[in-house]
Structure 1
Amino acid sequence: MAEETENENNLVPANDRIVKINIEDQMKSAYIDYSMSVIVSRALPDARDGLKPVHRRVLYGMDGLGVASSKPYKKSARIVGEVLGKYHPHGDSSVYDTMVRMAQHWSLRYPLVDGQGNYGSLDGDPPAAMRYTEARLRKMAEEMLADLKKDTVDFQPNFDDSEEEPTVLPTRIPNLLVNGASGIAVGMATNMAPHNLTEVIDGTIAYIDNRDIEISELMQFIKGPDFPTGGIIYGHNGVRDAFETGRGRIVMRATAEIETTKSGKEIIIVTEIPFLVNKADMIKRTVDLINEKKIEGISEIRDESSKDVRIVYEIKRDSNANVVLNNLYKHTSLQSSFSVNNIALVKGRPVMMNLKDMIQVFVEHRHEVVVRRTKFELAEAEKRAHILEGYLIALDHLDEVIKLIRSSDTPEDARIGLIEKFGLSDIQARAILDMTLRRLTGLERDKIKEEYAELMKTIEYLRQILDDESLRYKIIKDELVEVKEKFGDERRSVIVHSAEDMTMEDFIDDEEIVITISHNSYVKRTPLSDYKRQGRGGKGSIGSNTRDEDFTEHIITATAHNYMLLFTEAGRCFWLRAFEIPEGSRTSRGRALQNIINVPKEEKIKAFILVKNLKDQEYLENNFIIMCTKQGTIKKTSLEAYSRPRANGINAININEGDQLIEACLTSGTSEIVMALRSGRAIRFNESTVRPMGRTATGVRGITLSSATDEVVGMISLNNPESTVLVVSEKGYGKRTDIEDYRITNRGGKGVKTINVTDKTGELVAIKDVTNDEDLMIINKSGIVIRIGVDTLRVMGRATQGVRLITLKENDEIASITKVVREEEEEIITDEEGENLASDSTEQTENNED
């Protein structure tokens, strides 16, 4: 028993030392600590100075060694040892590689280290060992270290608390943008492109002048990345994405020229290659592709590079140099991409930054540096002024001071005596006792007075800086301008448009056009100016050649950049940009719609809606599409449901068997709807009585048909109080009526008479809402088109038969009408031969028909 007790007692201390923890929790905690260490202390740059800790330590270590740009070079091994021993407790290769990269003019847009010796090459050759090379700081690096000793930034202890190192540099250079950065952390990576210093400073100054500046306005100054190896940036879209979101894919191309030799052979000469491309590997890969027959037409490749890049591709006589160059771009590193991912540390946290964010962080950092520097300089100036005030007191009482000092037994007695007799501070008394005798000469006394006067001016100016924010920002701008004058240069990378940037809209004027669609679904677009306005009752002009019993069924006026939503009789919706419709003359047939969009051959397009764009979310959510069918069904759906074009269309409305979609209107949700029947009746009701439904719904009853043979011929939505209702019959009669003549009734009723249907007029074929500022285009089944002013039609009552709008030949009928915007153009009237008739014939025709 005693033995068991002893064993238990022995186990107690051991149990005290063992803490049981969940291995999953421990691994999570340890990995998070590790990943945060990598993110903050190794892989990501600080957004303020654009440097990772190792870069900052190299520059600070070189500054501490005194290897300034004006001093002799020091051995790289000496510099690496300094950084390694004091600040960066990692491998020497990490420090040396960092320093080497900062010295390579093809790696950094603006190198910060001035290297002497073999620092590698564009071909990927490694640098010489650190014992052979030498280095010193460049002047630009000194601008990043300027004012470091003026308490401008916080310092932190080094790895063993024996030294202090800066947490950030008080840089005058917007280094994050100017030199970029790259690094792979844990769970994230950064890849930031370099930019032109002149452009960045111009953009920064523009931001200081206007804090609300848009990124698009900043891009007027900062055109895009500027790579150290030059080359061509192919396309603006990637640059715009990177600037606006912090992420973007920038396509880089080599700079190449095609020349013809004296012997007549074509050669391609590459003088600049894309950033980060290994020249030797690229040439080797190109040779492999030629051997594999993937690239043809090249007889020889020569690398004639010395200090500058020059790669020569000799082209075979039977090959085209342009074709070969495009193949080189496609298959080799002559074209490569730079994936921008702007992640940097802001207040110790990784943040995705756009162009404005990066400039903002730099400006805020510079402002803090200027404030801290000014406070430091003010404190130093006040200290000095305090001592000079003591000197001046001593000089004013020189004999008494000398007497007191001579009579004192010890320096301590003299110090106490000076303080008590002249009311001096301890610092002033010590300074007087430390004065040399030469300071007592007249000339030296004058110098002290001058220094004091200058110092008081300086103190006043420094206080003014601290009190005036605008003055501080002026200082920041002045220092930036000074940096630009010292180091600014021209762009190396040229930005050119790519095919992706150039949409069809860039090549097509947003002009007014007329789109015509025939009964057999042939479509074309024609400039609106091709149609001259004519008087009511004219014979019209040929609108299109008819062929195989075809005739123009629809006429739509639009602008070239509009989106068209096309609705088929079966209730499907398709999309088409107006400029995608082939252009044709007024008399041409056009092109089959099935060749442009994927409309099934058995379905006919019955309705069209013109939309400005499909990307404005507010516009999409606040507008609706109202559709009606031949059997009188009506349906309302939000435009947003039709904002995502699909090649094969979408279901817009569920159509019952035996029914067809005949009309669709774009509305704002508060319109009044008028539906008209072939029998000459119409109904008016408010759109609000139709609730919004989903795309696949059938809809609700809009109007009740008067007979089994009756059908809906059209629907209009009214928003404009000046609009009148125009109705047209199949035999060319039409009239305008005030909307108030149609009383508002409940949806689903039988409606009221809208035109007096007779054998002379024929049945109703169309209903439109029109104003005096519009023209009508009327087309009949034989292809004749007439354009008349709405203002030539007077407003009549509902029950009248109207007046003749177009003179029809025997057995001809009206196929379609549309309204167009009035053009300021002299009214002309033509007869069948196209000769002008007297203008009073319009009135005569009207009188005859009435």
Structure 2
Amino acid sequence: MARRPATPDLPPEDLVEKIVDIDVAAEMEGSFLEYAYSVIYSRALPDARDGLKPVQRRILYQMAEMGLRPERPYVKSARVVGEVMGKLHPHGDAAIYDAMVRLAQAFSLRLPLVDGHGNFGSLDDGPAASRYTEARMAPAALAMTLGLDEDVVDFVPNYDNKLVQPAVLPSAIPNLLVNGASGIAVGMATNMAPHNLVEVVAAARHLVLHPDATLEDLMRFVPGPDLPTGGKIVGLDGVRDAYRTGRGQFRTRATARVENVTPRRKGIVITELPYSVGPEKVIEKIKEGVQSKKLSGIADAVDLTDRQHGLRLVVEVRTGFHPEAVLEQLYRYTPLEDSFSINNVALVDGQPRTLGLRELLQVWVGHRVDVVRRRTEHRLRKRRERLHLVEGLLVAIVDIDEVIQVIRTSDDAETARGRLRSVFDLSHEQAEYILELRLRRLTRFSRLDLEREQAELTAEIAALEALLADERLLRTLVSDEMAEVAATYGTPRRTILLEHAGGASVAGAAGAPASRRGGAPAAPLEIEDTPCWALLSATGLLARTGDETEPSRGDGTSRSRHDVVTSTVRTTARARLGALTSAGRVLAVEVLELPSLPPTDGPPTLSGGLPVGEVVTLADGERVVALVPLAEDAPPIALGTAQGVVKRVAAGDLPANKDAWEVVTLKDGDQVVGAAPARDEDELVLLASDASLLHFTADQVRPQGRAAGGMAGIRLAPGARVVGFAVVRPEDAEPVVVTVAGSSSALAGTQAGSAKVTPFAAYPAKGRATGGVRAHRFLKGEDTLILAAVTATPARGTGAGGQPVPLPEVDQRRDGSGVALGAPLHAVG
């Protein structure tokens, strides 16, 4: 043993240090167990009854003590933290503020318990300092603390034994299941998923009235977690395992949909993220995936989240890729799909336990039954005490003069109290209450009030006694209070539950054989170069079919607003085609940029088509008259102009490295009125405004170079012009000629005119550059054709807004007059 040097002032025996030998292993074991005990019971694990850790419970209790109710003004968060730290929680202010912040975050808790004002953080950023934010109790916190003044829970001393605090809150809300919990203790951890309040209360009420209910019975009310951020839960087997054993795992997915983010490009719009996943983390992972080549088909990813519209992440998909397949990639390589591991560990009777759904509900239901019973006992005791005092007052009022005489003749209060008890047979409490009573209460009206109060107290005491005597009546009251809480604070479910993903996940590269989870083969990432048809409508909409099936012509009828197809081209999904304009230009169009139409049994409907102006750039007054193929093996392109010129130009003569080029040199005032591919055996048809029709075989027009001006097609009368040009193939079934006559002096688009539909076979062929034959006999007031077209049977008419305009029946007379239309006709297809 070591000794200190002796001094002359102290006896040597008092200077000897006493050193105790301690085993290091035993000391470390004991100290570690004390530390572990403190962490488990005082920090990390929630109580299964109120679902709160000690710091959270102290925050809510202190806010209630400070009167920070939802209708009161906010106070500085630093003030709340200071009160909690100084009175109840012997730890740092940072830990207290972090706990209070989480109680206020709507993306962390399904039912926030603190109403925060200011920057309380986001999934990607932390909160502002406590001196900058304000807080008060949220409405749901009132249900957590309601009844603390009615002896419903036990109170324990605080850290310095100067104050008391509740050992548990009354918790009218099943907070542990509704808001979940997470924490890491020593040797154990907890991670509990949030649930929907209405569903949990429904299950709890069923358990209250049916204590022997099975887990399957309860799962009919609670099918799965309900996360604060919404999203989807994919696969419920892990959820069922967690409800049965307290441990399990499930996958969460973001809520996403495919939209047109620009007129020419589709994108994936994400409006809900998995639990605890922030948008910045998702954007970062997408960029990393694109750089590392794990993700394909993504052009850009932007965060458009704001306070008004909420979460909105937009992932722009490159042309040529399936958006659905790109989305499956995102689920695989980014946090848009995440997993959640359930570990339901909580304190039950002071011991950490792993609990399933039924056990969690049993603990909370038992706690609520105990709270309501203790509250009932407290109210019964208070009412009995009050009734005892009221009965004493009534005795005193009956002989008030004698009472006053007794008090006046007593030497002191103690003597007066004793004389009152002996003379009127009162208890100590009744005599004391009479001595402290003001004389103004002892009036006739006070007696009536006291008698009324006595009757009310007697009835209330009888009801409370009956409640305590009947366990089923007590549990019914508990169930009714649960229903009231659910009606007050409940909200609709946010998270969608799916038994499975609903389709195979797509592998990271095009052509991968199967999904990462097995099952059906993966869908191709890139759009295949499959045959299809490109379509142009009368109102200038472009689209393509989903396959090579030729668009159905239907029966000519329509049940709703529609458009007619005026030009079709057989092509492939990854090919280019040309849009031939009235100015004699061909503008290149990528077929992939055209929206794909869903399959239909009737005529194609282009309501989802893309306006021509969004695909190509047109000059003022220029319009697209037809779609033409650009393949080298395609037939020559034939076109007709308003001045009667026709021309054929080989598609192979068009340069492949340009996006726009001229195919005819037009004279001043001339314009192209129609175009289509034309083989030598096909018929070229021109219809003039003076109602003359001329058709001849295409081999009479030799193909010319792009700079050529064409050759004479029809001889026009003075003042006449070509209003229609078409190419008729020998294999076309029963083509018809549609002509609409009207007055040349009328404002364009305002007159309905008269229409005639005649078989094309009724018109004889003549040589090129001749005058043709008459195709329509004008009625009185008519002097021109305002519209003319050659189309397949049945012909369909449409107005300027896409509305259907019925056409007359087929007239076999080629030079007959027309039938009046009900509305102006814009186009025929």
Q: Which TM-score band (shorter chain)?
A: 0.5 to 0.7
1-side partners of 2:271 and 2:190: how far apart? 29
Tell me, yes or no, if structure 1 residue 494 matches structure 2 residue 496. yes
Asked if the contact 2:235–2:251 (Cα under 8 Å) also holds between the matched residues in 1, the reply is: yes
> Which residue in 1 is equivalent to 2:162?
162
- Deviations along 1:554-575, one digit per CA (max 9) or x if unpaired, are xxxxxxxxxxxxxxxxxxxxxx
1-side partners of 2:69 and 2:357: how far apart? 32
How far the C-alpha of 1:437 sits from its partner, in A, is: 2.3
- Give the one of 405, 414, 417 matched to 1:415: 417
State the AA in 1 paired with 2:482: L
1-side partners of 2:190 and 2:208: how far apart? 27
Closer/same/farther in 2, CA of residues 264 and 347 from structure 1, 3 Å limit: same
> Which residue in 2 is equivalent to 1:377?
379
State the AA in 2 paired with 1:47: A
Tell me, yes or no, if structure 1 residue 314 matches structure 2 residue 290. no
1-side partners of 2:11 and 2:274: how far apart? 71
Q: Secondary structure at the match of 1:20?
A: coil
How far the C-alpha of 1:121 sits from its partner, in A, is: 1.8
Asked if the contact 1:259–1:269 (Cα under 8 Å) also holds between the matched residues in 2, the reply is: yes
Q: Secondary structure at the match of 2:120?
A: coil
> Which residue in 1 is equivalent to 2:37?
36
1-side partners of 2:503 and 2:432: how far apart? 74
Closer/same/farther in 2, CA of residues 254 and 499 from structure 1, 3 Å limit: closer
How far the C-alpha of 1:262 sits from its partner, in A, is: 5.8
2-side partners of 1:293 and 1:133: how far apart? 44
> Which residue in 1 is equivalent to 2:272?
272
Aligned-residue sequence identity (percent) comes to 47
2-side partners of 1:268 and 1:297: how far apart? 11
State the AA in 2 paired with 1:263: P
> Which residue in 1 is equivalent to 2:78?
77
Q: Secondary structure at the match of 1:419?
A: helix
State the AA in 2 paired with 1:115: G
Asked if the contact 1:236–1:501 (Cα under 8 Å) also holds between the matched residues in 2, the reply is: no
Tell me, yes or no, if structure 1 residue 453 matches structure 2 residue 455. yes
1:272-291 equivalences in 2 (<5 Å): 272-291=272-291
Asked if the contact 1:117–1:132 (Cα under 8 Å) also holds between the matched residues in 2, the reply is: yes
> Which residue in 1 is equivalent to 2:524?
none
- Deviations along 1:426-457, one digit per CA (max 9) or x if unpaired, are 21112112222221222221111111111111
How far the C-alpha of 1:289 sits from its partner, in A, is: 1.2
Q: Secondary structure at the match of 1:293?
A: coil
How far the C-alpha of 1:487 sits from its partner, in A, is: 0.7
- Deviations along 1:374-393, one digit per CA (max 9) or x if unpaired, are 12111111111111011010
> Which residue in 1 is equivalent to 2:429?
427
1-side partners of 2:503 and 2:34: how far apart? 44
How far the C-alpha of 1:475 sits from its partner, in A, is: 1.2
2-side partners of 1:311 and 1:11: how far apart? 81
- Deviations along 1:681-710, one digit per CA (max 9) or x if unpaired, are xxxxxxxxxxxxxxxxxxxxxxxxxxxxxx
1-side partners of 2:381 and 2:503: how far apart? 56
> Which residue in 2 is equivalent to 1:120?
121
- Deviations along 1:704-724, one digit per CA (max 9) or x if unpaired, are xxxxxxxxxxxxxxxxxxxxx
Tell me, yes or no, if structure 1 residue 462 matches structure 2 residue 464. yes
Q: Secondary structure at the match of 2:494?
A: coil
1-side partners of 2:478 and 2:13: how far apart? 67
- Give the one of 433, 436, 439 matched to 1:437: 439
How far the C-alpha of 1:468 sits from its partner, in A, is: 1.2
How far the C-alpha of 1:399 sits from its partner, in A, is: 2.0
1-side partners of 2:176 and 2:500: how far apart? 27
Q: Secondary structure at the match of 2:274?
A: coil
- Deviations along 1:611-670, one digit per CA (max 9) or x if unpaired, are xxxxxxxxxxxxxxxxxxxxxxxxxxxxxxxxxxxxxxxxxxxxxxxxxxxxxxxxxxxx
- Deviations along 1:403-434, one digit per CA (max 9) or x if unpaired, are 22233343333222211100111211121122
1-side partners of 2:501 and 2:305: how far apart? 31
> Which residue in 1 is equivalent to 2:711?
none
2-side partners of 1:11 and 1:177: how far apart? 67
> Which residue in 1 is equivalent to 2:101?
100
> Which residue in 2 is equivalent to 1:54?
55
- Deviations along 1:223-269, one digit per CA (max 9) or x if unpaired, are 11100000000111111111111111110000000113462421111
1-side partners of 2:12 and 2:41: how far apart? 43
> Which residue in 2 is equivalent to 1:63?
64
Asked if the contact 1:235–1:500 (Cα under 8 Å) also holds between the matched residues in 2, the reply is: no
> Which residue in 1 is equivalent to 2:579?
none
Tell me, yes or no, if structure 1 residue 351 matches structure 2 residue 334. no
Asked if the contact 1:235–1:501 (Cα under 8 Å) also holds between the matched residues in 2, the reply is: no
> Which residue in 1 is equivalent to 2:244?
244
> Which residue in 2 is equivalent to 1:186?
186
Q: Secondary structure at the match of 1:149?
A: helix
2-side partners of 1:194 and 1:144: how far apart? 17
State the AA in 2 paired with 1:121: S
Q: Secondary structure at the match of 2:111?
A: coil
Query: TM-score with structure 1 length normalisation?
Result: 0.57
CA RMSD in angstroms comes to 2.3
Say which is worse superposed, 283-292 or 311-320, in terms of deviation: 283-292
Asked if the contact 2:261–2:316 (Cα under 8 Å) also holds between the matched residues in 1, the reply is: no
2-side partners of 1:260 and 1:22: how far apart? 73
> Which residue in 1 is equivalent to 2:785?
none
- Deviations along 1:25-53, one digit per CA (max 9) or x if unpaired, are 11111111111110111000000000000
State the AA in 2 paired with 1:106: F
State the AA in 2 paired with 1:149: D
Asked if the contact 1:237–1:501 (Cα under 8 Å) also holds between the matched residues in 2, the reply is: no
Unmatched segments (≥5 aa) in structure 1:
508-850
1:476-491 equivalences in 2 (<5 Å): 476-491=478-493
State the AA in 1 paired with 2:425: G
Asked if the contact 1:44–1:185 (Cα under 8 Å) also holds between the matched residues in 2, the reply is: yes
Q: Secondary structure at the match of 1:17?
A: coil
- Deviations along 1:723-759, one digit per CA (max 9) or x if unpaired, are xxxxxxxxxxxxxxxxxxxxxxxxxxxxxxxxxxxxx
> Which residue in 2 is equivalent to 1:198?
198
How far the C-alpha of 1:201 sits from its partner, in A, is: 0.3
1-side partners of 2:418 and 2:69: how far apart? 45
How far the C-alpha of 1:459 sits from its partner, in A, is: 1.2
Aligned length: 499
Closer/same/farther in 2, CA of residues 219 and 21 from structure 1, 3 Å limit: same
Asked if the contact 2:120–2:128 (Cα under 8 Å) also holds between the matched residues in 1, the reply is: yes
- Deviations along 1:71-111, one digit per CA (max 9) or x if unpaired, are 11111111000000001111101111111111110011000
- Deviations along 1:256-309, one digit per CA (max 9) or x if unpaired, are 001134624211110000011122122112112112211111111111111310
2-side partners of 1:394 and 1:31: how far apart? 66
Asked if the contact 1:111–1:138 (Cα under 8 Å) also holds between the matched residues in 2, the reply is: yes
> Which residue in 2 is equivalent to 1:254?
254
Asked if the contact 2:267–2:315 (Cα under 8 Å) also holds between the matched residues in 1, the reply is: yes
Q: Secondary structure at the match of 2:347?
A: strand
Asked if the contact 1:252–1:336 (Cα under 8 Å) also holds between the matched residues in 2, the reply is: yes
> Which residue in 2 is equivalent to 1:472?
474
Tell me, yes or no, if structure 1 residue 330 matches structure 2 residue 332. yes
How far the C-alpha of 1:170 sits from its partner, in A, is: 1.0
How far the C-alpha of 1:21 sits from its partner, in A, is: 2.1
2-side partners of 1:156 and 1:476: how far apart? 26
